[in-house]
Amino acid sequence: MRVGIVVNPDAGLGGRLGFKGSDGRADEARAAGAQDRSGPRMQQCIDKLSQLLDSSLNRQGKEIEFICWSGRMGSSWMGQTAVTIIGESPQSTSAQDTALLVKQLIDSEVDLILYAGGDGTT
- d(C-alpha 58, C-alpha 72), whole Å: 29
C-beta atoms surrounding 32 within 10 Å = 13
| 116 closest CA partner among 18, 11, 7, 23 | 7
Residue 18 phi, psi (nearest 5): 75, 25
Rounded to two decimals, what is the model's pTM?
0.80
Q: Contact, 76 vs 69, CB < 8 A?
A: no
Domain boundaries, the chain: 2-8+36-116
- Residue 60 scores a pLDDT above 60: yes
Higher pLDDT, 21 or 74: 74
- d(C-alpha 40, C-alpha 36), whole Å: 7
Average pLDDT over the chain reads: 84
What does the pLDDT look like over 75-119, one tens digit per residue?
Answer: 999 988 999 999 999 988 888 999 999 999 999 999 999 999 865
